[in-house]
Amino acid sequence: MNDAQSRASETSFPRSACPVTNTLDIIGDKWTLLVIRDLLLGKHLYGEMMQSPEGIASNILSNRLQRLEQAGLIVKRPYQSNPVRYEYHLTAKGQDLQPVLQAIVAWARRHVPGVVVFPEVKQDERNEDG
Amino acid sequence: MNDAQSRASETSFPRSACPVTNTLDIIGDKWTLLVIRDLLLGKHLYGEMMQSPEGIASNILSNRLQRLEQAGLIVKRPYQSNPVRYEYHLTAKGQDLQPVLQAIVAWARRHVPGVVVFPEVKQDERNEDG
DNA sequence: CTACTCGCTTGCATATTGCAAGTTATTGTC
DNA sequence: GACAATAACTTGCAATATGCAAGCGAGTAG
């Protein structure tokens, strides 16, 4: 075990007690924040998210929805039976990532030429506790 | 080519014109923002970043520094010769990610119990154009 | 019956990550 | 002057994650 790792293991966190690190352990990849973006934009069904322009693979979407549910950022609830099908909603914890998304959008508008911002985020979403 | 992909290819962007997507294509992984965090905290040398508590692997650090330089978020400049060694500094483009980091820290303080925020970010860094 | 849709799951090839050891150039120690 | 140490990487390789396409179960529509 090296110095950096032994320092990290002094805490109960997998990598370190840093807030950035622990947030990245949840949202630190190329797809998770796009799922959250879609949910903030009012998409709640698997098929709706599949249709987003990035073309997420179905196994990746499935995996990210599971991880987000486990992390308490979204809840999954049935919207029909026979066959039972689910819709996904952000919890308060998930919705609180909106400022992160907004900061990212602000950065991209300044520094990545040609990006097109999606329609305004809905403000009428209901909070769910997860 | 599916619907989502054909829609994406209507633009010159690899995945879509969404600002979130294009930012994630630069910083969307578990390590890149930690490197930027270290640079904001005043670490400028390879060895200093290696000592951060997360224990980044040396090949990953090397790779991320290269990618960040290519993306224009950092500049590499020699601080000695024989042997030549480099220090890394954020450009204005890189420093502008600070609000994203701050939003992440704010989220983690609200939602991830036990995290410990690092010392204040230095405000006396020089901007470099890259 | 047959075709079709939705919401996934599975198989498999490829790409990325993580760990450890090696390399290069130079300094400091005996 | 030989030898250990240091900084900044690079390389090799096993383990993990991703991307693509096809398959599947439970219905509905014609």
Residue-level pLDDT at A125 = 46
Q: What are the chain B neighbours of A106 within 8 Å (beta carbons)?
A: 99
Shortest alpha-carbon distance between residue B71 and chain A (Å): 10
Q: How far is the CA of B18 from the C1' of C26 (A)?
A: 49
Note the pLDDT tens digit of each residue in B2-53. 445 444 445 588 999 999 999 999 999 999 999 999 999 999 999 999 999 9
Which residues are A76's β-sheet partners?
A88
Domains of chain B: 31-111 (1.10.10.10)
Question: What is the distance between the alpha carbons of residues B84 and A23, in angstroms, rounded to a whole number?
Answer: 36
Classify residue B86 by its DSSP letter: E
Structural Rg of chain B based on CA atoms: 17
A 10 A CB-CB count for B116 gives: 11
Question: For B97, which of A102, A107, A118 is closest by C-beta distance?
Answer: A107
Picking from A39, A40, A33, the residue whose alpha carbon sits closest to that of residue A120 is A40
Query: Which chain B residue shows the shortest CA-CA distance from A9?
Result: B53
User: Shortest CA–C1' contact from B32: which nucleotide?
Assistant: C17
Judge whether A34 and B15 are in contact, CB under 8 Å.
Answer: no
pLDDT at A117 over 50: yes
Judge whether A91 and A74 are in contact, CB under 8 Å.
Answer: yes
Note the pLDDT tens digit of each residue in B63-113. 999 999 999 999 999 888 778 889 999 999 999 999 999 999 999 999 999
